[in-house]
């Protein structure tokens, strides 16, 4: 007699791990390099759609989030989102040994996407695989459509130069006296940019029998600053009874700097004007038994005015206000330029250095 394999629904798996306060053992932290810092890697294969890790931290109000006087480095671990028409933040700045907070950005071909899951009437941010993840692969998700500093360093096109020791038939430009001359051949440029842009479908279907564990709208990325609301929070159609299923995509909204006299100045702000529906992000289909993710619906946030985000490979306790340069652009000057983002996804806010110096 054939035995049918019982699969745990990803959302139930997430719920179990949320409640147990444990990370899944199939993942481990590893130091990558001084640039990227630490990352999280799969020690077991992960099926597409599977729950991966929770982005754990302290759940605080957006107001509290703004009130926290964090360094640039700490601020990269703040992730704001919307729930029940209010704005919240997961503050994961504390080095607590959890893995979710260490997952790095990949905006081209992420293997995970963030979702909001409600357990005991409390929102949690969880990552789900959008494709099969092999052993040894780094877990990554899209931090958003921002000008993250490390992305600037990524080449859009890869050129590989092959050096071959050969005797060519065409010796026209070849020093005949040097028969073993090294000839460098440049093959055609290889483009390794993978972009999938699709419109987000409404996965509002929702397992009514499981009121505690519901994958909901993508939290809203909100970059805020002490004493200022930098984002126009638009009305959400999210309710307790009926929650749209849009995945979140993280990170960085407001670009702020702390001056040496302790004031905070805003240098730039993320774009929140674009509804999530316009973005491309993977979402969990709760109606699917396999709860597989639709990888062609990735969300990519837009227009962050960021110049530099602190490198988190530096331990938090090593960060110092002294390392923060004076911003060149005062908050008032930037206010009218503030891009806004209007999507239901969490945002980790992050800080940047002033683009110009000496202002």
DSSP state of 332: H
CB of 77 to ligand SAM, least distance (A): 5
Contact between 319 and ligand SAM (CB under 6 A)? no
The number of beta carbons lying within 10 Å of the beta carbon of residue 178 is: 8
Does residue 273 interact with ligand SAM by CB under 6 A? no
Total number of residues binding ligand SAM (CB under 6 A)?
Answer: 18
Are 297 and 248 spatial neighbours (Cβ–Cβ below 8 Å)?
no
CB atoms inside a 10 Å sphere around CB 166: 11
Residue range at the interface with ligand SAM (CB under 6 A); choices 8-16, 103-111, 223-231, 328-336: 103-111
Q: Is 38 in the site for ligand SAM (CB under 6 A)?
A: yes
By CB under 6 A, residue 311 contacts ligand SAM: yes
CA dist., res. 214 & res. 120, Å (int) = 10
Separation of first and last alpha carbons in the chain: 77
**Nearest-approach distance from CB 255 to ligand SAM, in angstroms:** 13
Using the rule CB under 6 A, which residue among 105, 238, 281, 353 binds ligand SAM?
105
The 147-186 contact track toward ligand SAM, x by CB under 6 A, reads ---x------------------------------------
**How far, in Å, CA of 335 to CA of 183, rounded?**
55
Does residue 78 bind ligand SAM (CB under 6 A)? Answer: no
Q: Does residue 144 come out as left (phi exceeding 0), alpha (psi in the -120 to 50 range) or beta?
A: left
Contact 223, 254 (CB under 8 A): yes
Taking CB under 6 A as the rule, does residue 114 contact ligand SAM?
no
Q: Report how far Cα 112 is from the mean position of its chain's Cα atoms.
A: 9
Q: Write down the least CB distance from residue 353 to ligand SAM, Å.
A: 13
| Residue 259 found at the interface with ligand SAM (CB under 6 A) | no
Q: Cβ-count burial of 348 within 10 angstroms (0-12 exposed, 13-18 middle, 19+ buried)?
A: buried
Cβ atoms of 102 and 29 within 8 Å: the answer is yes
Q: Does 309 bind ligand SAM (CB under 6 A)?
A: yes
**Chain residue whose CB lies nearest ligand SAM:** 37
The answer to the question of residue 16 lying near ligand SAM (CB under 6 A) is: no
Q: Is 94 in the site for ligand SAM (CB under 6 A)?
A: no
Least Cβ distance, residue 33 to ligand SAM (angstroms)? 9
Q: How far is the CB of 348 from ligand SAM (least distance, A)?
A: 6
Specify the residue for token string 């939290």: 219
Nearer to ligand SAM, 253 or 286 (CB): 253
Cβ burial, residue 146 (10 Å; 0-12/13-18/19+): buried
Which CB, 36 or 226, lies closer to ligand SAM?
A: 36
**If binding is defined by CB under 6 A, does position 102 make contact with ligand SAM?**
yes
Q: Which residue has the tokens 């600053």?
A: 225
The neighbour count for residue 329, using CB atoms within 10 Å, is 19
H helices, E strands: number in the chain: 5, 22
Considering only residues 186 through 245, tell me which ones interact with ligand SAM, judged by CB under 6 A: none
Cβ 93 to ligand SAM, closest distance in Å?
Answer: 9
68 binds ligand SAM (CB under 6 A): no
Interatomic CA distance for residues 67 and 289, integer angstroms: 43
Q: Which of 7, 12, 37, 58 binds ligand SAM (CB under 6 A)?
A: 37
Nearer to ligand SAM (CB atom), residue 101 or residue 203:
101
**Under 8 Å CB-to-CB from 41, ≥6 apart: which residues?**
27, 28, 29, 30, 136, 137, 138, 139
Residue 23 near ligand SAM by CB under 6 A: no
Least distance in angstroms from the C-beta of 76 to ligand SAM: 4
What is the contact surface with ligand SAM in residues (CB under 6 A)?
A: 35-39, 76-77, 101-102, 104-106, 150, 309-313
């Amino acid at each position: 007699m054939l035995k049918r394999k019982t699969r745990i629904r990803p959302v139930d798996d997430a719920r179990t791990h949320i409640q147990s306060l444990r990370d899944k053992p199939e993942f481990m932290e590893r130091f990558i390099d001084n640039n990227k810092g630490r990352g999280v890697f799969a020690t077991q294969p992960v099926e597409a759609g599977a729950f991966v890790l929770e982005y754990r931290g302290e759940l605080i109000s957006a107001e509290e989030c703004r009130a926290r006087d964090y360094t640039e480095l700490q601020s990269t671990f703040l992730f704001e989102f919307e729930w029940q028409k209010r704005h919240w933040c997961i503050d994961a700045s504390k080095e607590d040994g959890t893995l979710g907070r260490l997952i790095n950005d990949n905006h081209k071909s992420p293997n995970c996407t963030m979702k909001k899951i409600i357990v005991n009437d409390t929102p949690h941010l969880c990552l789900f695989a959008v494709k099969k993840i092999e052993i040894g692969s780094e877990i990554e998700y899209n931090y958003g459509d921002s000008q993250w500093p490390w992305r600037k360093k990524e080449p859009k096109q890869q050129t590989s130069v092959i050096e071959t020791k050969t005797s060519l038939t065409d010796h026209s430009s070849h020093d005949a006296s040097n028969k073993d001359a090294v000839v460098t051949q440049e093959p055609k440029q290889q483009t390794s940019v993978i972009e999938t842009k699709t419109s987000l479908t409404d996965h509002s279907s929702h397992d009514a029998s499981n009121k505690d564990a519901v994958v909901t709208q993508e939290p809203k990325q909100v970059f805020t600053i002490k004493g200022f609301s930098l984002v126009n929070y638009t009305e959400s159609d999210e309710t307790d009874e009926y929650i749209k299923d849009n995945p979140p995509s993280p990170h960085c909204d407001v670009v702020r700097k702390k001056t040496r006299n302790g004031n905070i100045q805003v240098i730039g702000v993320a774009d929140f004007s674009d509804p999530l529906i316009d973005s491309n992000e993977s979402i969990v289909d709760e109606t699917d038994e396999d709860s597989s993710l639709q990888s062609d619906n990735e969300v990519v946030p837009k227009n962050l005015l960021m110049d530099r985000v602190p490198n988190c490979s530096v331990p938090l306790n090593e960060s110092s206000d002294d390392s923060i340069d004076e911003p060149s652009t005062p908050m008032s000057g930037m206010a009218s330029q503030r891009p806004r983002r209007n999507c239901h996804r969490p945002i980790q806010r992050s800080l940047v250095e002033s683009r110009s110096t000496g202002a």
